[in-house]
Structure 1
Amino acid sequence: MTTSLYLATADRMLSSVIRGTRGAWPRACAWLLCHELEAAMDRYWARVCPEIGRTRVQRPKLLLLAHYAGPDLGRRASYLWWALSRAGHHHHYELGVTAAELTRLRTELLDLVALLDHSEAPTC
């Protein structure tokens, strides 16, 4: 698997201080990881069912993933997309996501991307 620009930039945010990102880097990192997940799903759908892949909305792609790739993979992708989306939004009433939580989500993302890129699925 080659490292995408999304993942490389998220890795840079997790490993070093980037000038001008104080306070905003955790949300930016979460969105970059979320974009990487969406790109992996787009690659999966382009291979398995291009009609679904042409949809711009992510929610139908997530819902159909359980049917095509299996319920476990569908659940994992839905949870990860939810967690990254939630981490990307600012909530006044709770603490932001930490570097350790983003690192755990990144690890889950890499596992999921590998499964999506190599999973066998029936074509539609």
Structure 2
Amino acid sequence: MNRRGRPARAKFTPRPSVAQRLEAAENLLDGSVSDAGGVWSRAVAWILRLALEQAVDQLWAQVAPELMRCPMRAQLLALRVYAGPETAGQVGALWAALSRAAHHLDYEMAPSVTDLRRWRDQTAELARALELAPLAHQPFG
């Protein structure tokens, strides 16, 4: 409570960067974080998905800010125009794989370390490609 008896406002904390999210995923993969229990593999998938979504958001902030408010599936469709069909297809496939891996289903195995490391590398590669997309391309049409 503040001095007027109202609930105190939460202080603004900037969200982690894509690089910080990738580092957090790497720490989980390396075993540096030991208190994640049995959910660490799904936590890595969530962190990677957040990093990928943030890389897409950063592209939209530069070229089409209004797209940041759209659902991710719509953003993935629009991505073909700004990043090209190949990059957009790779982002869409990775986002779908991370989404499946992040959601726990009792009858599915958790993602393997090999899959998680591959997805981590793909996330980093696609984040770099999206960062360069506004410089390399005018909207595809």
Q: TM-score, normalised by structure 2?
A: 0.79
Out of 16, 24, 27, which is 1:9 matched to? 24
Instruction: Give the counterpart letter for 1:122 in structure 2.
Output: Q
Contact 2:49 2:95 in 1 (8 A): yes
Instruction: Give the counterpart letter for 2:97 in structure 1.
Output: A
Cα 1:33–1:104 change in 2 (3 A) is same
Cα 1:39–1:3 change in 2 (3 A) is closer
| Superposed counterparts of 1:14-33, under 5 Å | 14-33=29-48
Give the whole-Å Cα distance in 2 for the aligned partners of 1:22 and 1:46. 36
1:7-45 CA-to-partner distances (Å, cap 9, x unmatched) read 221110011152331210000110000000011000111
1:52 aligns with 2:74: no
1:112 aligns with 2:126: yes
1:81 deviates by 0.4
- How many equivalent pairs are there? 121
Structure 1 stretches (4+) deviating beyond 2 angstroms?
Answer: 2-5, 17-20, 120-123
Between structure 1 and structure 2, the one with the greater Rg is 2
Contact 1:44 1:117 in 2 (8 A): yes
Aligned to 1:77: 91
Superposed CA RMSD? 1.7
SS in 1 for 2:37: coil
Aligned to 1:37: 52
Contact 2:79 2:88 in 1 (8 A): yes
1:4 deviates by 3.1
1:45-96 CA-to-partner distances (Å, cap 9, x unmatched) read 111111213x152111111001221111110000010011111011211211
Contact 1:34 1:85 in 2 (8 A): yes
